[in-house]
Amino acid sequence: MNQTELAALIPFYKELTPKQIELILQTAQEITAEAGKIISALGGSCQGFIIVKSGLIGASMISEDGREAELFTLGSGELCILSASCIFLPKTFHVQMTAEKTSQIIIIPSSTVEKLREQNMHVELFAYKTMTARFADVMNAVEELLFVPVEKRLAKILVSSRSDTIFITQEALAKKLGTAREVVSRTLSSFKARGFVNVKRGQIEITNKGALQKLLQTT
């Protein structure tokens, strides 16, 4: 990583001093994460800032019984602040970061973030502003998990697809919906019986998007 890349990826770059820029260049780690790689396992629950240079990263929470619920995704150029929550919050907020496809990521370690925070008020202001926005995403995800039926959440995913054929496993859908694979299987079987979709191994073909949209509008 060089200064040009750094300037393009870090929103507060212009507010950094030359010494602070050099600190990031010396300590930041750039890695390639293959699809399915659990990135948070590389550094525990307080890695630092994770920046997606290219690819797609999913952030999720894991229950005690092993169920996984996706909270949000990060695309190219986006930065995860929750992976440095131990620096800014009294209690660590742990999310599991997983590469949804092969991704290039940059990790600015917590020790570096802590120094930048102490030396530069713009870094701290950016962190709190970004964390507030990210917590809004988390709360929206939790609200859907608690109050929106699985049937509607699945319909929302299908309707939002740009293609009428979605290549995804039922296990991956269960992760996105924060439910069990068996629940996804039953819901898809119901959709198929009603003529909404056709289901094949590893893919779903949407046959009546209008009906799915109507389902979303019902109370």
pLDDT of residue 43 exceeding 50: no
The closest alpha carbon to 42, from 109, 91, 92, 90, belongs to 109
DSSP code of 33?
A: E
- Phi, psi angle pair for 123, to nearest 5°: -70, -45
Domains of the chain: 3-146 (2.60.120.10), 148-217 (1.10.10.10)
Helix (H, G, I), strand (E, B) or coil at 199: strand
Per the CB < 8 A criterion, the answer to whether 127 and 81 are in contact is yes
pLDDT digits 0-9 by tens, 91-128: 556 678 899 999 999 999 989 999 999 999 999 899 88
pLDDT of residue 78 exceeding 60: yes
Query: Which pTM value belongs to this model?
Result: 0.72
- Among 17-21, 63-67, 70-74, the range scoring the smallest mean pLDDT is 63-67
Q: Which segments of the chain does DSSP mark as H helices, in order?
A: 3-9, 18-27, 85-88, 110-119, 121-147, 150-159, 170-177, 181-193, 209-217
Identity of residue 12: F
pLDDT of residue 81 exceeding 60: yes
Token pair belonging to 25: 């260049």
**Which residues lie closer than 8 Å to 138 by C-beta, 6 or more apart?**
71, 72, 82
pLDDT digits 0-9 by tens, 144-183: 888 999 999 999 999 998 899 999 999 989 988 888 899 9
pLDDT digits 0-9 by tens, 18-40: 999 999 999 999 999 999 898 87
Query: Would you state the pLDDT for residue 42?
Result: 47
DSSP code of 109?
A: E
Token pair belonging to 93: 């907020």
Give the Å distances, CA to CA, from 97 to 23, 35, 118, 144: 25, 12, 26, 20
